[in-house]
Chain A
Amino acid sequence: MDVLGTLSKLVVESGFGQLFAAGGWKYLVMIGISCVLLYLGIGKKFEPLLMIGIAFGCLLANLPGSEMFHQPLWDAYIAGDQGITFTTIIHDGGLLDIFYIGVKAGLYPSLIFLGVGAMTDFGPMIANPKCMLMGAAAQLGVFVAFFGAVALGFTGPQAASIGIIGGADGPTAIFLTTKLAPELLGPIAIAAYSYMALIPLIQPPIMKLLTTEKMRQVKMEQARPVSKTEKILFPIIVSAFVILLLPSTAPLVGCLMLGNLFRECGVADRLSDTAQNALMNIVTIFLATSVGATMGADRFLTVQTIKIIILGLVAFAISTMGGLIVGDIMYFVSKGKINPLIGSAGVSAVPMAARVSQDVGRKSNPNNYLLMHAMGPNVSGVIGSAIAAGFLLSVFGG
Chain B
Amino acid sequence: MVDIGIGTAFLAALLGYAVDFLGIIFLMVVIMIMGKIMHRETKKKKSDAIDLGSINVPEGTDPKKAAVIFAALAEEERWGHVQVNARTNKKGNPMNKVVAAIAAAIAEEEEG
Contact = CB atoms under 8 A, between A and B. Distances in A.
Nearest to A398: B1
A380 B23 CA distance: 11
A112 B39 CA distance: 33
A126 B31 contact: yes
B24 A387 contact: yes
A241 B33 CA distance: 14
Contacts of B34: 126, 230, 233-234, 237
A395 B27 contact: no
Nearest to B15: A391
A383 interface: yes
Contacts of A137: 21
A132 B27 contact: yes
A391 B9 contact: no
Interface in A378-398: 380, 383-384, 387-388, 391-392, 395-396
Contacts of A46: none
Interface string A92-111: 00000000000000000000
Interface string A110-153: 00000000000000011101101101110110111011001100
B31 A234 contact: yes
B23 A387 contact: yes
Contact size range, A: 35 or more
A63 interface: no
Given A147-B9, A156-B2, A237-B31, A133 B19 contact: no
Contact of B31 (A129, A135, A227, A242): A129
Contact of A230 (B1, B13, B21, B38): B38
A146 B2 contact: no
Contacts of B15: 391
Given A142-B16, A237-B34, A136 B26 contact: no
A319 B35 CA distance: 29
A159 B23 contact: no
Contacts of A387: 19-20, 23-24
B42 A227 contact: yes
A145 B77 CA distance: 54
B24 A136 contact: yes
B1 A384 contact: no
Nearest to A249: B23
A396 B1 contact: yes
A133 B28 contact: yes
B93 to A, nearest CB: 28
B23 A245 contact: yes
Interface string B1-15: 111111001101111
A170 B87 CA distance: 54
Interface string A265-304: 0000000000000000000000000000000000000000
Contact of A150 (B9, B17, B19, B31): B9
A146 B31 contact: no
Contact of A384 (B4, B5, B24, B42): B24
A156 B27 contact: no
Interface in B86-110: none
Contacts of B23: 136, 242, 245-246, 384, 387
A146 B20 contact: no
A306 B110 CA distance: 73
A125 to B, nearest CB: 8
A367 interface: no
B30 interface: yes
Contacts of B26: 241, 245
Given A146-B13, A387-B19, A227 B24 contact: no
A157 B16 contact: no
Given A130-B28, A234-B31, A383-B24, A151 B6 contact: yes
Sorted nearest first, the 9 A-B pairs with minimum C-beta distance are A136-B24, A150-B9, A143-B13, A156-B4, A129-B31, A129-B28, A147-B13, A387-B23, A132-B28
Interface of B: 1-6, 9-10, 12-17, 19-21, 23-28, 30-32, 34-35, 38-39, 42
20 contacts: A125-B31, A126-B31, A129-B28, A132-B25, A132-B27, A132-B28, A143-B17, A147-B13, A155-B2, A156-B9, A156-B12, A159-B9, A230-B38, A238-B27, A380-B24, A383-B24, A384-B20, A384-B24, A387-B20, A391-B15
Given A143-B13, A388-B16, 16 more contacts: A132-B24, A132-B27, A133-B24, A133-B25, A136-B20, A140-B17, A147-B10, A147-B13, A150-B5, A151-B6, A230-B38, A234-B31, A237-B34, A241-B30, A380-B24, A395-B12
